[in-house]
A and B are shown apart, each in its own frame.
Chain A
Amino acid sequence: MYLQNANSKILTNARVDPDFATIKDPKKMAPEKANAQCLTCHEKGKQAMWKASMHEAKGLACSQCHSVHKGHGASQLAKADAKDVCYQCHKDVKSQANKTSHHPIKEGKMTCASCHNPHGTAGPHQLTANTLNEKCYECHAEKRGPFFFEHRPVSEDCSVCHTPHGSKYGKLLTSRNPYLCQSCHSNSRHPGTIYAVDPGTAGSNTYQKLNNRILARGCLNCHQNIHGSNHPSGKTFAR
Chain B
Amino acid sequence: MKLLKFGICMALLAAVSSGLQAGIFDKTTGDADAGVSIHFGDDDNFKYNEYSYKTDTALRPFAGANVLALNNEDDHFLKADFAVKYKEDLDLKLETGHYGLYKFDLGFSRMGHNFAFGAKTLYSGIGTGELVIDDAVQTDLQGAASATNLVTRLTPYMDSAGKIDLALKRDTMKTNFVWQSLAPLTLSLDAMHEWRKGTRPFSGTFGFGNAIEIPEPIDYFTNNIRFNAEYAGKPLYASLTYERSVFDNDITTLRYDNPFRITDTTNSRAYAQNYAGGPKTGLSALPPDNTYDNVSALVAKNLPWHSRMSAQVSYGVMKQNDQLPPVTVNTAIAGYPLALPAESPDAKINKGFYQLSLVSRPIQKLHLKAGYKYNQHKNKTDIRSVAAYVRMDAVIEGDSTPSYVSYIKRTGELEASYDLGGKDTLSAAYENEGAAFDQGSAKSEDANIYKLSWNSRRLDWLTGRLSLEHENKNSDYPDYTSANAELPWTRKYYAASKKTNGISAMTTIVPTDDLAVNLEYKYGKDDYNKSLFGLREGNQHIAGVDADYHLTENISLNAFFTYELRDTDQQSRQWVPSSTGSPYVPAYASVENLSNWTLKIKDAAYTPGLGITVKDLVKEGLDLEAEGSLTKASGKADYDSAKGTAGVDDNNAFDPQDFGELDDTTLISFASRLNYKLDDTWNFFLGYQYERWKIKDFVYDGYADIAVTGAGAYNSLLTMNTLPRDYAVHALYLKAAYRF
Task: Indicate whether A and B interact.
Answer: yes
| A residues apposed to B, CB below 8 Å | 30, 32, 43-45, 48-49, 51-52, 56-59, 88-89, 91-92, 94-95, 98-100, 104, 107, 109, 122, 130-131, 134, 137-138, 141-150, 152-153, 155-157, 160, 168-169, 175-176, 179, 182-190, 192-194, 196-207, 209-212, 214-217, 220-222, 224-225, 229-236, 238-239
Q: Are B715 and A212 in contact (CB under 8 A)?
A: yes
Please measure, in the bound complex, the distance between the C-alpha atom of A150 and the C-alpha atom of B402, giving whole angstroms.
Answer: 8
Q: Are B318 and A145 in contact (CB under 8 A)?
A: yes
Interface residues of B in 386-414 (CB under 8 A from A): 386, 389-393, 400, 402, 404-405, 407
Q: With A91-B544, A141-B290, A209-B698 as given contacts, are A157 and B494 in contact (CB-CB < 8 Å)?
A: yes
CB-CB under 8 A from B400, the residues of chain A are 233, 235
Q: Are A146 and B379 in contact (CB under 8 A)?
A: yes
Q: Does B500 reach chain A (CB closer than 8 Å)?
A: no
CB-CB under 8 A from A183, the residues of chain B are 493, 534-535, 568, 570
Please measure, in the bound complex, the distance between the C-alpha atom of A221 and the C-alpha atom of B493, giving whole angstroms.
Answer: 24
Q: With A175-B568, A212-B211 as given contacts, are A141 and B220 in contact (CB-CB < 8 Å)?
A: yes
A-B pair number, CB within 8 angstroms: 371
Q: Are B247 and A188 in contact (CB under 8 A)?
A: no
Please measure, in the bound complex, the distance between the C-alpha atom of A169 and the C-alpha atom of B662, giving whole angstroms.
Answer: 9
Q: With A194-B574, A238-B205 as given contacts, are A179 and B707 in contact (CB-CB < 8 Å)?
A: no
- 12 chain-A/chain-B pairs, Cβ below 8 angstroms: A59-B417, A99-B605, A109-B111, A137-B245, A141-B247, A145-B349, A146-B345, A155-B377, A169-B663, A194-B597, A207-B710, A230-B322
CB-CB under 8 A from B658, the residues of chain A are 196
Q: Are A179 and B51 in contact (CB under 8 A)?
A: no
Contact of A210 among B283, B534, B699 (CB under 8 A): B699
Q: Are B465 and A58 in contact (CB under 8 A)?
A: yes
Interface residues of B in 351-393 (CB under 8 A from A): 351, 353, 355, 357, 359, 361, 367, 369, 371, 373, 375, 377, 379, 381, 386, 389-393
Please measure, in the bound complex, the distance between the C-alpha atom of A139 and the C-alpha atom of B546, giving whole angstroms.
Answer: 33
Q: Does B665 reach chain A (CB closer than 8 Å)?
A: yes
Q: Does B635 reach chain A (CB closer than 8 Å)?
A: yes
Please measure, in the bound complex, the distance between the C-alpha atom of A202 and the C-alpha atom of B712, giving whole angstroms.
Answer: 12
Q: Are B601 and A184 in contact (CB under 8 A)?
A: no
CB-CB under 8 A from B573, the residues of chain A are 186, 192
> Could you tell me the distance in whole angstroms from the C-beta of A27 to the nearest C-beta in chain B?
11
CB-CB under 8 A from A233, the residues of chain B are 327-328, 386, 389-391, 393, 400
Q: Does B728 reach chain A (CB closer than 8 Å)?
A: no
Q: Are A230 and B345 in contact (CB under 8 A)?
A: yes
Q: Are B324 and A168 in contact (CB under 8 A)?
A: no
Contact of B230 among A45, A149, A153, A175 (CB under 8 A): A45
| Per-residue A-contact encoding for B271-305, CB less than 8 Å = 1, 0 else | 10000000000111101101010001010100000
Please measure, in the bound complex, the distance between the C-alpha atom of A147 and the C-alpha atom of B379, giving whole angstroms.
Answer: 11
Q: Are A57 and B427 in contact (CB under 8 A)?
A: yes
Contact of A212 among B287, B349, B707 (CB under 8 A): B707
| Per-residue A-contact encoding for B484-520, CB less than 8 Å = 1, 0 else | 1111001011100000000000100000000000101
Q: Are B702 and A91 in contact (CB under 8 A)?
A: no
Contact of B574 among A32, A192, A225 (CB under 8 A): A192
Please measure, in the bound complex, the distance between the C-alpha atom of A45 and the C-alpha atom of B232, giving whole angstroms.
Answer: 8
Please measure, in the bound complex, the distance between the C-alpha atom of A104 and the C-alpha atom of B535, giving whole angstroms.
Answer: 30
Q: Does B689 reach chain A (CB closer than 8 Å)?
A: no
Q: Does B35 reach chain A (CB closer than 8 Å)?
A: no
Q: Does B631 reach chain A (CB closer than 8 Å)?
A: yes
Chain B: residues with Cβ within 8 Å of the partner, total of 168
Known: A134-B351, A144-B247. 6 other contacts (CB 8 A): A52-B359, A122-B312, A152-B440, A157-B494, A224-B284, A239-B392
CB-CB under 8 A from B296, the residues of chain A are 130
Please measure, in the bound complex, the distance between the C-alpha atom of A194 and the C-alpha atom of B641, giving whole angstroms.
Answer: 9
Q: Are B285 and A230 in contact (CB under 8 A)?
A: yes
Q: Does B222 reach chain A (CB closer than 8 Å)?
A: yes
Q: Are A156 and B607 in contact (CB under 8 A)?
A: no
> Could you tell me the distance in whole angstroms from the C-beta of B547 to the nearest C-beta in chain A?
12
Please measure, in the bound complex, the distance between the C-alpha atom of A100 and the C-alpha atom of B635, giving whole angstroms.
Answer: 13
Q: Are A224 and B582 in contact (CB under 8 A)?
A: no
Please measure, in the bound complex, the distance between the C-alpha atom of A188 and the C-alpha atom of B580, giving whole angstroms.
Answer: 11
Please measure, in the bound complex, the distance between the C-alpha atom of A145 and the C-alpha atom of B654, giving whole angstroms.
Answer: 43
CB-CB under 8 A from A131, the residues of chain B are 351, 353, 375
Contact of A207 among B205, B320, B574, B715 (CB under 8 A): B715
Residue from the set B184, B186, B605 with the largest chain A CB neighbour count within 10 Å = B605
Chain B residue nearest to A50 in the complex (CB)? B308
Contact of B717 among A32, A193, A215 (CB under 8 A): A215
Please measure, in the bound complex, the distance between the C-alpha atom of A210 and the C-alpha atom of B605, giving whole angstroms.
Answer: 26
Residue from the set A141, A202, A207 with the largest chain B CB neighbour count within 10 Å = A141
CB-CB under 8 A from B386, the residues of chain A are 232-233, 235
CB-CB under 8 A from B109, the residues of chain A are 109
Contact of A168 among B213, B232, B465, B665 (CB under 8 A): B665
Q: Does B740 reach chain A (CB closer than 8 Å)?
A: no
Chain B residue nearest to A217 in the complex (CB)? B203
CB-CB under 8 A from A207, the residues of chain B are 709-710, 715
Q: Are A225 and B369 in contact (CB under 8 A)?
A: no
CB-CB under 8 A from A45, the residues of chain B are 186, 230, 232
Q: Are A239 and B283 in contact (CB under 8 A)?
A: yes
CB-CB under 8 A from B51, the residues of chain A are 104, 107, 109
Chain A residue nearest to B192 in the complex (CB)? A138
Contact of B716 among A193, A205, A212 (CB under 8 A): A212
Q: Does B613 reach chain A (CB closer than 8 Å)?
A: no
Q: With A95-B605, A150-B402, A238-B392 as given contacts, are A145 and B347 in contact (CB-CB < 8 Å)?
A: yes
| Per-residue A-contact encoding for B48-85, CB less than 8 Å = 1, 0 else | 00111000000000000000000000000000000000
> Could you tell me the distance in whole angstroms from the C-beta of B342 to the nearest C-beta in chain A?
9
CB-CB under 8 A from A204, the residues of chain B are 710
Q: Does B659 reach chain A (CB closer than 8 Å)?
A: yes
Q: Are B392 and A148 in contact (CB under 8 A)?
A: no
Q: Are B575 and A215 in contact (CB under 8 A)?
A: no
Q: With A200-B655, A210-B699 as given contacts, are A153 and B492 in contact (CB-CB < 8 Å)?
A: yes
Please measure, in the bound complex, the distance between the C-alpha atom of A217 and the C-alpha atom of B576, giving whole angstroms.
Answer: 25
CB-CB under 8 A from A210, the residues of chain B are 699, 702-704, 707-708, 715, 717
> Could you tell me the distance in whole angstroms from the C-beta of A189 to the nearest C-beta in chain B?
6
Q: Does B711 reach chain A (CB closer than 8 Å)?
A: yes
Please measure, in the bound complex, the distance between the C-alpha atom of A185 and the C-alpha atom of B518, giving whole angstroms.
Answer: 42
Interface residues of B in 310-362 (CB under 8 A from A): 310, 312, 314, 316, 318-320, 322, 324-328, 340-341, 345, 347-349, 351, 353, 355, 357, 359, 361
Q: Are A216 and B719 in contact (CB under 8 A)?
A: yes
Q: With A196-B657, A209-B702 as given contacts, are A190 and B518 in contact (CB-CB < 8 Å)?
A: no
